[in-house]
Amino acid sequence: MSLYAIGDLHLHYQSVLKAPGQLHGRVWKNHEEKFRKNCAKTVTPEDTLVLVGDHSWGKNLLECERDLQYIRDLPGRKILTRGNHDMFWDVKKTGMLNEMYKPELTFVQDSYDSYQDYAIVATKGFTFEGPFYIDRRGRIVGWDEEEEEHARKLVARELVRLRKSFDLAKDAGYRKFIMFLHYPPTSILEERSGFTDMAEEYGAEQVIYAHSHGESRFHDSIHGKYRGREYHLVSGDYLRWKPLKILE
C-alpha cells in the first residue's frame, strides 16, 4: 500500500485549452495517455493517489465530466485538492462534489483526509508571481507592488484555510501530517513563508506542491530537505507523468 501524488493534469476532453503556449512541448503530447499508462504500471487498487490541483480546463462541471471520469477510472483511491484553474470547483460546492463522486473521488477543501496514521491536509495556497522588473543581467530590480499587496491578501486567506485543515485533523487525534499545496510554498523572493512556517509549527513531515510548469519554473521554490521537512514539486510535466511515491 502506497501514497502517490501528482498535480496539473490540465485535462480538456470537453473544454478549450486556455494556455496553449504553456502546454506546448513534447512532454504535453498525449500526456493523458502517458499518465494513464504510468498509473496502470505503478498504482494498485489498494494505493491512494493525491491529485494536487489544476485538474481540468473546464469552465464548469458540465465541461469537466469526462475529465473527472478519466480521473475516476485511474487505479486506487483518489484525493483531489484545488488548483487555480479549477473553475468547476467552487469552495461552497465541495460537499456536492463529494456526494456526486463518492466513493472513488474525495475533494479536500476546509477539511482533511487520511492515509494510515497520517492526516492529509491541503489548501490551494498562493504565491506572488510578479510581474518582476529585471535588469539587463537578468537580476530582479523591482516588482509590481500593487500585485504584491493583492497576493498578500490571498496568502493570508489561504493560511486561514490551511490552519483549519490542520486543526480539524489535530482535533481528530492525528499527530502526523503531510501538507499539500497547489502553489509553491515560497515565491522566488522568499526563503520561507507563512506556509513553510505552518508546516514547521504543526510538524508536517512533507510539503507537496505543484503549479510550476516548464524547465524555467521548476526551481522557483524549495526542493528536498529544508528546515526539517521534505519538499517535493509534483507538477505533471516535472514528473514526466510518473506519480511520485510519498509514503509506503
| Residues binding Fe ion (CB under 5 A) | 8, 54, 83-84, 211
Nearest distance in Å: CB 17, Fe ion: 12
Which CB, 76 or 83, lies closer to Fe ion?
Answer: 83
Q: CA neighbours within 13 Å on the CB side: how many for 237?
A: 21
Buried b (16+ CB within 10 A) or exposed e, 59-71: eebebbeebbebb
Are β-strands 206-209 and 176-181 bridged in parallel, bridged antiparallel, or unpaired?
parallel
Position closest to Fe ion via CB = 54
Instruction: Please say which residue, 7 or 76, places its beta carbon nearer to Fe ion.
Output: 7
**Spatial distance between the Cα atoms of 180 and 196, rounded to a whole number of angstroms:** 11
Minimum Å gap between C-beta 33 and Fe ion is 19
Q: How far is the CB of 190 from Fe ion (least distance, A)?
A: 18
Measured CA distances, 50 to 47, 53, 125, 149, 188 (Å): 10, 9, 16, 31, 25
Nearest distance, CB of residue 22 and Fe ion, angstroms: 8
Is 19 or 189 the residue whose CB approaches Fe ion more closely? 19
Decide whether 157 or 227 has the Cβ nearer to Fe ion. Answer: 157
Instruction: Dig out the grid coordinates for 98 from the structure.
Output: 463529494
Kindly state the cell numbers that stand for 106: 474525495
